[in-house]
């Protein structure tokens, strides 16, 4: 489909009954027009009673397809024509989820204003908020939070939006979530806290935010690995210094009976070995 409204109008004048017949991938003309951004064709098809809810073989509705592509004008038209705003694809994802995951702010804003379910989860129990935090879309995070989406709801692995932002290094999102009430001590099912993952990844700014917000310095995971273990093993000397200055316990052992010093030696981080030996 190349967006020729005149051709579509001509064909419909003879065969309007074919307006929702799908192709060999289950895509109706409306689905295809939504995927290509042909707004005029979308409106023409709807005027001729195209099925607004008919999905392709991946259970993607026209609204889902337009939301994924970021065609905000088409999204608005579809919602005004009473498209199911929360219809899920085969992965359990809603139009709001996919728009949040890909970063289409205008589309997210429309869907939120049309009362999409802000906390609807996919099959991995991830929310639109989680998706936006994982991808680093701070403006979408703000829109969702300002409309009372949960900032603490976890996925199937008990990973929170804050944990995702810490893992992927999105400093401004971490700061925003902490300022807006995220629990900085929540850990995933492996016991990994936001501080531990930030220390492991060497993100000094996120570590600073979390510590200033009262994160537990010595909180271990299920294998008794502490933030100091993680930073010593990975060679992040600035973080090791910060943790020591904040009172991290150097003598704690992990489930393999290793101290942070043992791990620094194992990975040949001689500067950290010297620091751990010289610090009180």
DSSP state of 129: H
> Is 229 part of a structural domain of the chain?
yes
> Is 102 part of a structural domain of the chain?
no
The CATH number of whichever domain residue 194 belongs to comes to 1.25.40.20
Task: Write down the pLDDT at residue 13.
Answer: 63
**Residue 8 pLDDT level (bands cut at 50, 70, 90):** low
> Is 69 part of a structural domain of the chain?
no
Instruction: Give whole-number Cα distances, 93 to 53, 63, 232, in Å.
Output: 15, 12, 39
Could you give the number of structural domains in the chain?
Answer: 1
Give me the chain's average pLDDT, please. Answer: 95
Q: What is the pLDDT of residues 172-216, one digit of tens each?
A: 999 999 999 999 999 999 999 999 999 999 999 999 999 999 999
248-260: average pLDDT: 98
> Is 133 part of a structural domain of the chain?
no
> Is 113 part of a structural domain of the chain?
no
> Is 97 part of a structural domain of the chain?
no
Task: Write down the pLDDT at residue 212.
Answer: 98
- 62, pLDDT greater than 60: yes
Note down the domain range covering 274: 161-280
> Is 192 part of a structural domain of the chain?
yes
> Is 236 part of a structural domain of the chain?
yes
Instruction: Give whole-number Cα distances, 42 to 65, 78, 232, 274, in Å.
Output: 12, 9, 57, 67
Q: Comparing C-alpha atoms, which of 62, 51, 129, 119 is closest to residue 89?
A: 62
- Residues, the chain: 280
Task: Write down the pLDDT at residue 129.
Answer: 99
Task: Write down the pLDDT at residue 268.
Answer: 98
134-144: average pLDDT: 99
Task: Write down the pLDDT at residue 274.
Answer: 98
């Amino acid at each position: 489909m190349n967006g020729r409204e005149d051709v579509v109008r001509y064909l419909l004048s003879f065969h309007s009954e074919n307006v929702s017949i799908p192709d060999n991938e289950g895509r109706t003309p409306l689905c295809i027009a939504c995927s290509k951004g042909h707004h005029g064709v979308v409106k023409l098809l709807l005027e001729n009673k195209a099925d607004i809810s008919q999905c392709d073989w991946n259970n993607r509705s026209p609204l889902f397809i337009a939301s994924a592509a970021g065609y905000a004008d088409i999204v608005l038209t579809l919602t005004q024509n009473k498209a199911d705003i929360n219809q899920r694809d085969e992965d359990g994802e809603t139009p709001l989820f996919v728009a949040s995951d890909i970063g289409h702010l205008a589309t997210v804003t429309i869907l939120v204003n049309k009362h999409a379910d802000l906390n609807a989860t996919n099959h991995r129990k991830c929310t639109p908020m989680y998706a936006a935090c994982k991808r680093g879309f701070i403006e979408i995070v703000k829109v969702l939070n300002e409309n009372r989406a949960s900032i603490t709801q976890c996925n199937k692995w008990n990973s929170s939006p804050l944990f995702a932002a810490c893992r992927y290094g999105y400093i401004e999102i971490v700061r925003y979530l902490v300022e807006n009430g995220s629990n900085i001590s929540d850990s995933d099912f492996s016991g990994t806290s936001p501080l531990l993952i930030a220390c492991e990844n060497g993100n000094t700014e996120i570590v600073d935010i979390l510590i200033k917000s009262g994160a537990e310095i010595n909180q271990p995971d299920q294998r008794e690995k502490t933030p100091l273990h993680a930073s010593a093993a990975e060679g992040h000397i600035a973080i090791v210094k910060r943790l020591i200055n904040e009172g991290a316990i150097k003598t704690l052992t992990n489930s393999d009976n290793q101290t942070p010093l043992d791990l620094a030696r194992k990975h040949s981080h001689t500067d950290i070995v010297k620091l751990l030996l010289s610090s009180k």
